[in-house]
Amino acid sequence: MRITLKGVRKSFGPVSVIEPVDELVFESGNVTTLLGPSGCGKTTLLRMISGLETPDCGEIWFDGDCVFGDRVNLSPDKRGLGFVFQDFALWPHMTVYENVAFGLRARGLTENLKDRVSGALKAVRLEGFEGRYPHQLSGGQQQRVAFARAIIIEPRCILFDEPLSALDAILRDEMRGELRALVSQLKITAVFVTHDQVEAMSMSDTIMVMNKGRIEQKGSPEEVYAAPASDFVARFIGKSNWIGANRMFRPESLSLSKTEGAAEYRMSVRFAQFVGNGYELGLERDGIRWYALSSRKPEGGEISVYLREEDVLTVKAGDK
């Protein structure tokens, strides 16, 4: 399902939360992530797509169907969407089976109920868990139950609102891959809200970077990292090193070996922290602070690093 927003705006009192754009498209079959700091409007945008929040103006289209406009405002239950939230929202007094079946029962769709529940649980690798209660499951298992409940109604799109933030770091890493694989396998359009750039970079086909109610940049993870459209995007996505106000480069562009045609910079090593496959270095020179990557820990307090001019990007100033 292709989702299109046209001229959508949202304010709460005098505060504008979502600034209008002529057209904003979420492509069919893609995982699109709304990424930005707290308060940037990403959850409000998701809630307007779902019907849980009403825009002040504009139109929202699902393929060729208008679900919000001058004369229409479909309720959430009529938009054909699935939801997966941060707190999982599982009924504690219901078994896994009943939690997954709940959406179908609420819609009166009880034909072949057992087979449909079994199919949804098989898709999330929870066969045999039908009789358990939420408190008897791990965090990752509860997340998969929430996902099974979302997909059993065969939605055209699933909306994820910070679904992994309640999990510990190891489970979060595991569930990123699982959710991405399940969405791809089911060929469902997904809109994913997060402030975690690692989640966005690892799970998305498209990232929309938001800042103060505006889309600062839309592109693939590779595009927003390698060619940031503004200094806000450059600073928010990954680590960035700066030369002056609007020229930047990524830490991996710095070489610790002499490179032909590269400028040499003599830097003091402020710290060297082990990150598993090497060291992240914090460097300083004349008040300038840079990050670099190294396969080994520096032995001295000063090192030379080398930077090619072609690795430096000029970015436009944005609204920080």
CATH number at residue 297: 2.40.50.100
Number of H helices, E strands in the chain: 8, 18
pLDDT band at 320 (very low <50, low <70, confident <90, very high): low
Among 159, 194, 226, the domain boundary falls at 226
pTM of the model: 0.89
Res 318: pLDDT? 65
Given phi > 0 = left and psi -120 to 50 = alpha, else beta, which region is 244?
left
- Residue-wise DSSP of 258-286: --TTPEEEEEEEEEEEE-SSSEEEEEEET
Q: Both 275 and 221 in a single domain?
A: no
Residues 72 and 157 in one domain: yes
Number of domains composing the chain: 2
In a domain, 234, yes or no: no
Of the residues 179, 196, 226, which one is the last residue of a structural domain?
226
What domain range includes position 274?
A: 244-314
Determine whether 282 is exposed, middle or buried from the number of CB atoms within 10 Å of its CB (0-12, 13-18, 19+).
Answer: middle
Q: Give residue 319's pLDDT.
A: 62
**CA-CA distance, 300 to 297, in Å (whole number)?**
9
Give the pLDDT confidence of 162-185 residue by residue, as tens digits. 888 877 888 788 888 888 888 888
pLDDT per position as a tens digit, 238-271 = 999 999 889 999 999 999 999 899 999 999 999 9
Judge whether 23 lies within some domain.
Answer: yes
